Amino acid sequence: MKISGRNRLKGEVKKVVLGDVMAKVVLQVGDNRITSVITREAAEEMGIKEGKEITALIKSTEVMLMEE
């Protein structure tokens, strides 16, 4: 598969919470966790479950930065 998106982060699914319509997927990428909310139907079609390796594609018009 070819895709134009360049912000790709490969990681491991750590948690999946299935709701009636939506699914919350927590992905471990290095020392960081990314949370994504997708449709339950998409999660089921993709077979997303804990331990599976998947890639997050990030497309955004805004990125916020914080200094600690």
- Cα–Cα distance, 13 to 24 (Å, whole number): 11
For the chain, give every domain's residue range: 8-53
Question: Topology of domain 8-53, per CATH?
Answer: OB fold (Dihydrolipoamide Acetyltransferase, E2P) (2.40.50)
pTM for the model stands at 0.84
Note the pLDDT tens digit of each residue in 21-63.
999 999 999 999 999 999 999 999 999 999 999 999 988 778 7
pLDDT value of position 4: 84
Closest by CA to 10, choosing from 42, 32, 39, is: 32
- Dump the DSSP string for the chain: ---S---EEEEEEEEEEE-SSEEEEEEEETTEEEEEEEEHHHHHHHT--TT-EEEEE---S-------
Report strand pairing: 53-57 vs 22-29.
unpaired
